[in-house]
Amino acid sequence: MINDRALAYSIAELVCIAFLTLLLSSSKKIKRYTLQQQWFNATLTCQILYLAGDSINTLFLNQIIPVSRILTNFMSIYLTLAMNALSFVTFMYVASKMELPLIHDRKKVRLIALPPVALSFFDMLVALAAPQIVFPNSGNQNFTDFFSLVFLAMPTIYTVTVLILTFSQAFINRHKRISRYYLALTVYPLLMTTCGVIEVMLSQRVAIYAYSVTFYFAFAYFYQLNYAIKDATIDSLTGLRNRENFKEYLDSIWRAEAGSQYYLFMIDMNGLKSVNDVYGHVEGDKAIKAIGKAMDEVLEVGNEGLVCRYGGDEFIAIIKVDSDQEAAKLVQLTRERIAHYAQEEYLQSTPQIAAGYIHMPREKQPLEKLLKQADSKMYAEKQSMKTGDRAANFFTDEITGLPNANYFHNFAGKYLKKLSKEGKQASIVLFNVAGMHAFNDQFGYKKGDELLRKVSQILHENFHESEDVLLRYTEDNFLLVTTRPIKPLLARIKKVAGDVSQAESVGLKAGIYQLDKGQIDVIAAVDLAKRAMQSIGKSRQQIYAIYGPEVQAIYDRQDFVLLNFKKALQDGEISAYFQPVIRSLTGQVHSFEALARWEDPERGLIPPDQFISTLERARLIQLLDLAIFEQACQLQDRLKQAGLPIPVISVNLSPVDLQSRGIVDEVEKIRQKYDIPAKYLKIEVLESIIKEAPDQLNAVIAAFHQAGYEVWMDDFGSGYSSLNNLKDFDFDLMKIDMEFLKGFTENSQSKIIISEIVDMAKRLGIATLCEGIENQQQADFLQEIGCQFQQGYLFGKSLTPEQLENFLTENLDQLEKIDLDDYYNQIDQVNVLTNPIHKQADQKQSLGENTDVPIAVLELAADGQFTYLYFNHALKRLILSGNQEKVTDMESGFNAFLLQLMRRCQGQTDPVSAEFTFANAIYTIRMRWLAKQKKNAFIFSAAKHGE
Ligand code: C2E
Ligand code: CA
Ligand code: CA
């Protein structure tokens, strides 16, 4: 009967033990964040150990398991020790719950532990020396008085102490809510003692103690851990500790003055947002988990310290580490483990982290300050990686905040796969900010960054539908992956380009590649979009190009050029043609421009714009340019030998050629070989050189000048250089881009723009040549505003050397004589636009006719005959308002008057003036002598008297 009851008692205890062990193991899984929980676990452990002992002891005492007396005695000693330990940890547990300061003080803790330890030793000593005092002799008496005294001493002392502490705290704080907390804390020791006593009184018939303790722990675990600990201290996603714990842990380090043994690590996941956006939050969570796992494994396991998730994608850890090297190694290792876990978890891609660490100071410092330091280290790492480090794998562009190329290369493949699985057709659009370089040069990189931000903002505003992925691909390239149908896409691109050029002084170009279904090679796709973009070239009107056969043809041609250029040059398939340049003043041919022509036996004539840029990119252009230069010299030499005058020839040199000063020597070698004076040769360089190689430009120009060449700026206005930076470079002439003449009509804006350019150039002492003249109105207008030279199909297309030779033989008088060059140039320096160029109000009318100051240039021969070299509309109106039929009517009185004036000022530097009456109005005529060759040139203007 007794045995049965004892067995039941013992089994009940074992069941409680099983349950408590379960609690303990799960409580341990949650890491020991706080002292409270540490002591909780310790108490739980001791409780289990005690109950186990008690259970076995019951079985022994009641001979359910028959054992020797010695073992029974040993068990009762064990129970005393367990009870002592239990009392101590219980006290500590309650003390830590009460947050008594002593729990942080090791010395004090040891002091508290001293009595139970001492008592236990004493008990064991006595048991060894005088067992009869400790153990009962007869079987029916379970405990001696001594035994009971020692057994109950510690629990009683601690319980009383705890009760005093808790009750007093409850009393002190009786008006605060916290007092209830203290009262609740008394439950545990009270429960233990009361139930212990009841149990003894019932002579251990029911395991009340075991039940109540188990109940308490279960309650405490679920209540307090779930609320107080779990939520407050654990990050549910990673199982790592959170901020609160971190602060606490840090405090304990400061208290121990052990700061300097630790390193503070800061680790940040790159592009979590993008991962969430592209793959969804499950993937993002997995990534975070993988990082957490890796950090826990690498940093916390085996090291002293703590890892915590600080915020969304931020982790911090404080770890005992010896040196910077070791810290760096840990970071490296963490990266490796992240990769491992990413693979294990089937993540779409390896999460990338930025990491920074600092050696902690010895003295306490605010956490914010430390975090800031670690953060700036982390940022520095990001920065250094950006410039080509092995792990340059950050997903966000720092300037615009858009995802970057790394991001693209990591995710695009999968994204495209996903779209293709859903049966959607994707397009890749590569945007280029045209004029970005020039902008940076002019305004600096800071402004350049602002510009990029602005552009990215406009792009973002227009492309943020759920399937649009927009990113900054390279320096001035943005990239868009989209599923929009092509028509609305094109419309949107147009709008965006408009918005950009309205907001900033740059343009936006787009190359589009539409992916085939199922095609997911992203690199190739971007390449084709890029090809499309590049096919736009320098055109100012074209905004986008879609990749297709035409674009591909360009690339095939490039391949052809690269493969065949050298051979074609050797075989004489590439030759120079010559297009005449006319002097506006005389209508004579001033010079010829050498233009390259490639005549392929199979492909026929290949125009230069189909091979020049390819040769430039391949750095082969100098071969071509020097060959053309040589052909020009050869032609001049041949004409000289044939007794013909040498025509002036201008030769195009690529900006690429001018990037080295050696080009001057190369050119000189050829010229000297044919012994052609440098004044017969002009150098043309594209305006784009100003942004491509501005540094040595002036030096190269100076070297050419030194050698006697003029240097002409080609295609002025085609790029993004302005009239403003023209004055920084010493060009002799500028060729105004033929784009300005496109859409030239009587009333067009081009007139105003061209006038402005000519006016400005004259003020700067630079001659002007307008290209692309195709009709007489254009020629007349340019003549009127004083643009010195003209070139275009109106005067002739380019001629073969033979055609040029024939032309010269047949029309010798049409070629300007070289010795008149200076003379005409002097005359041409006159700026007929200096007096108010045009009336603003009349801009819509023909500009030439609105230059309201009558001006003319006269040329006087030795025999007293004179001709009008130039006159403007204002003068024509004035003269025709008199009774003259024609401006050049020599019989008129006005002509005699002019002749008189010319005689007066010839050879003088000062102007002369006199009055003349036109149709009853008196005019003051001012005249100035300009130049003399065989003939003399004069300019005069007329002003109404009194005006
Ligand atoms: P560019 O130097 O501006 O040459 C003028 C281009 O305009 C020539 O085209 C010429 O044939 C064309 N053109 C002349 N008058 C008219 C006109 O009234 N209307 C129209 N629509 N076009 C006219 P081309 O020969 O095809 O040359 C194109 C460009 O190729 C040249 O532009 C020049 O930049 C480059 N280039 C030509 N030859 C060489 C060379 O030997 N070396 C280098 N580096 N570039 C060259
Ligand atoms: Ca040219
Ligand atoms: Ca040109």
Chain segment 543-575, per-residue pLDDT in tens? 999 999 999 988 888 889 999 999 999 999 999
* Whole-number average pLDDT of the chain: 85
Pocket residue to mutate for ligand 1, from 573, 578, 652, most atoms within 8 A of Cβ: 652
H helices of 642-722, in order, are 662-674, 689-692, 697-707
What is the gyration radius of the CA atoms in the chain, in angstroms?
48
Tokens standing for residue 833 = 């636009």
Ligand 1 within 6 A of 607 CB? Answer: yes
Distance of CA 652 from the midpoint of ligand 2 (Å) = 5
Please answer whether residues 857 and 870 qualify as being in contact, where contact means their C-beta atoms are separated by less than 8 angstroms. yes
Whether residue 238 is contained in a domain is answered as no
Residues 762, 622, single domain; the answer is yes
Residues 726, 805, single domain; the answer is yes
Of 350, 371, 394, the residue at which a domain comes to its end is 394
H helices of 573-661, in order, are 612-617, 621-641
Tell which atom from ligand 1 comes closest to the C-alpha of 621.
Answer: 44
Whether residue 679 is contained in a domain is answered as yes
Residues 574, 690, single domain; the answer is yes
Residues 366, 250, single domain; the answer is yes
Tokens standing for residue 845 = 């009318």
Helix (H) or strand (E) holding 651: strand 649-653
Among residues of the chain, what percentage have pLDDT more than 90?
Answer: 37
> Is-above-0.85 flag for pTM?
no
Whether residue 300 is contained in a domain is answered as yes
Q: What pLDDT is recorded for position 458?
A: 92
Q: What pLDDT is recorded for position 728?
A: 87
CA dist list (Å): 341 to 337, 391, 914: 6, 18, 98
Question: Where is average pLDDT lowest: 274-283, 578-587, 867-876?
Answer: 274-283
Q: Between 328 and 479, where is the model more confident?
A: 479
Ligand 1 within 6 A of 792 CB? Answer: yes
Residue 895 burial (CB < 10 Å; 0-12/13-18/19+)? Answer: middle
Please list, in sequence order, all residues whose beta carbon lies within 8 angstroms of the beta carbon of residue 168, skipping any fewer than 6 positions away.
none
Please answer whether residues 926 and 941 qualify as being in contact, where contact means their C-beta atoms are separated by less than 8 angstroms. yes
Q: What pLDDT is recorded for position 726?
A: 80
Rounded to whole angstroms, the Cα distance separating 688 from 676 reads 29
SS3 content of the chain, % helix, strand, coil (to 5): 55, 15, 30
Has residue 848 got a pLDDT over 90? no
One-character DSSP codes across 67-130: --HHHHHHHHHHHHHHHHHHHHHHHHHHHHHTT-GGGG-HHHHHHHHHHHHHHHHHHHHHHHH-
The domain containing residue 457 runs over which residues?
Answer: 405-547
Rounded to whole angstroms, the Cα distance separating 396 from 475 reads 14
Residues 258, 170, single domain; the answer is no
Residue 62 burial (CB < 10 Å; 0-12/13-18/19+)? Answer: buried
H helices of 740-800, in order, are 749-764, 776-785
Ligand number, closest to the Cα atom of 716: 3
Please answer whether residues 518 and 420 qualify as being in contact, where contact means their C-beta atoms are separated by less than 8 angstroms. yes
Tell which atom from ligand 1 comes closest to the C-alpha of 794.
Answer: 18
Q: What pLDDT is recorded for position 407?
A: 78
Rounded to whole angstroms, the Cα distance separating 111 from 359 reads 34
Whether residue 834 is contained in a domain is answered as no
Of 547, 573, 602, the residue at which a domain comes to its end is 547
What CATH number is attached to the domain comprising 284?
A: 3.30.70.270
615-663 pLDDT, tens per residue?
998 889 999 999 999 999 999 999 999 999 999 999 999 999 998 778 9
Please answer whether residues 898 and 879 qualify as being in contact, where contact means their C-beta atoms are separated by less than 8 angstroms. no
Pocket residue to mutate for ligand 1, from 595, 684, 711, 739, most atoms within 8 A of Cβ: 595
Q: What pLDDT is recorded for position 31?
A: 54
Ligand 1 within 6 A of 620 CB? Answer: no
Please list, in sequence order, all residues whose beta carbon lies within 8 angstroms of the beta carbon of residue 161, skipping any fewer than 6 positions away.
91
Has residue 512 got a pLDDT over 90? yes
Nearest CA among 143, 148, 153, 145 for reference residue 116: 153
Residues 818, 865, single domain; the answer is no
Residues 483, 573, single domain; the answer is no
Please answer whether residues 758 and 726 qualify as being in contact, where contact means their C-beta atoms are separated by less than 8 angstroms. no
Whether residue 830 is contained in a domain is answered as no
Q: What is the four-CA torsion angle of 801, 805, 807, 808, rounded to 10 degrees?
A: 130
Distance of CA 737 from the midpoint of ligand 2 (Å) = 10
One-character DSSP codes across 129-161: H-HHHHS-SSTT----HHHHHHHHHHHHHHHHH
Helix, strand or coil, per DSSP, at residue 751: helix
CA 270 centroid distance within chain: 14
Rounded to whole angstroms, the Cα distance separating 275 from 345 reads 15
Has residue 845 got a pLDDT over 70? no
Tokens standing for residue 675 = 């012994």
Report the domain count for the chain.
Answer: 5
Whether residue 828 is contained in a domain is answered as no
Ligand 1 within 6 A of 536 CB? Answer: no
Tell which atom from ligand 1 comes closest to the C-alpha of 774.
Answer: 18
Helix (H) or strand (E) holding 856: strand 855-860
Q: What pLDDT is recorded for position 808?
A: 93
Helix (H) or strand (E) holding 858: strand 855-860
Residue 241 burial (CB < 10 Å; 0-12/13-18/19+)? Answer: buried
Ligand 1 within 6 A of 717 CB? Answer: no
- The phi and psi torsions of 480 (rounded to 5 degrees) equal -130, 130
Residue 250 burial (CB < 10 Å; 0-12/13-18/19+)? Answer: buried
Has residue 142 got a pLDDT over 70? no
Ligand 1 within 6 A of 625 CB? Answer: yes
Rounded to whole angstroms, the Cα distance separating 817 from 803 reads 20
Say which DSSP state 523 is in.
H
Please answer whether residues 832 and 841 qualify as being in contact, where contact means their C-beta atoms are separated by less than 8 angstroms. no
* Residue 486 banded pLDDT, cuts 50, 70, 90: very high
Has residue 141 got a pLDDT over 70? no
Please answer whether residues 90 and 188 qualify as being in contact, where contact means their C-beta atoms are separated by less than 8 angstroms. yes
Rounded to whole angstroms, the Cα distance separating 5 from 206 reads 8
Of 761, 794, 822, the residue at which a domain comes to its end is 822
Rounded to whole angstroms, the Cα distance separating 435 from 425 reads 32
Report the b/e string of 813-841 with b at 16+ CB within 10 A.
Answer: eebbebebbebbeebbebbbbeeebbeee
Distance of CA 557 from the midpoint of ligand 3 (Å) = 23
Q: What pLDDT is recorded for position 721?
A: 65
* Residues around ligand 3, an ion, CB closer than 5 A: 714-715, 735, 771
Q: Between 329 and 567, where is the model more confident?
A: 567
Helix, strand or coil, per DSSP, at residue 600: strand
Helix, strand or coil, per DSSP, at residue 860: strand
Residue written as tokens 């206005």? Answer: 717
| Residue whose CA is at the smallest distance from ligand 1 atom 24 | 608
Residues 635, 575, single domain; the answer is yes
Distance of CA 757 from the midpoint of ligand 1 (Å) = 21
190-233 pLDDT, tens per residue?
888 888 888 777 776 678 888 888 888 888 777 655 444 444 56
Q: Between 141 and 144, where is the model more confident?
A: 144
Rounded to whole angstroms, the Cα distance separating 882 from 633 reads 53
Q: What is the four-CA torsion angle of 473, 478, 481, 486, rounded to 10 degrees?
A: -150
Question: Where is average pLDDT lowest: 196-210, 735-749, 857-871?
Answer: 196-210
Ligand 1 within 6 A of 609 CB? Answer: yes
Ligand number, closest to the Cα atom of 769: 3
Taking residues 411-419, what's their average pLDDT?
80
Q: What is the 3-state secondary structure (H, E, C) of 162-176?
A: HHHHHHHHHHHCCCC
Ligand 1 within 6 A of 656 CB? Answer: no
What CATH number is attached to the domain comprising 882?
A: 3.30.450.20
Residues 113, 154, single domain; the answer is yes
Residues 252, 220, single domain; the answer is no
What CATH number is attached to the domain comprising 138?
A: 1.20.1070
Please answer whether residues 445 and 425 qualify as being in contact, where contact means their C-beta atoms are separated by less than 8 angstroms. no
Nearest CA among 88, 74, 90 for reference residue 154: 88
Residue written as tokens 């842990």? Answer: 249
Please answer whether residues 554 and 531 qualify as being in contact, where contact means their C-beta atoms are separated by less than 8 angstroms. yes
Instruction: State which amino acid sits at residue 521.
Output: D
Report the b/e string of 522-542 with b at 16+ CB within 10 A.
Answer: beebbbbbbbbbbbbeeeeee
Distance of CA 735 from the midpoint of ligand 3 (Å) = 6
Tokens standing for residue 364 = 């306490």
Helix, strand or coil, per DSSP, at residue 870: strand
* Long-range contact pairs involving 838-842 (C-beta distance under 8 Å, separation at least 24): 838/752, 838/755
Q: What pLDDT is recorded for position 223?
A: 66
Ligand number, closest to the Cα atom of 609: 1
Distance of CA 665 from the midpoint of ligand 2 (Å) = 21
Residues 673, 738, single domain; the answer is yes
Residues 888, 916, single domain; the answer is yes
Q: What is the four-CA torsion angle of 347, 348, 350, 355, rounded to 10 degrees?
A: -90
Ligand 1 within 6 A of 580 CB? Answer: no
Whether residue 373 is contained in a domain is answered as yes
What CATH number is attached to the domain comprising 577?
A: 3.20.20.450
Tokens standing for residue 657 = 């050629």
Whether residue 557 is contained in a domain is answered as no
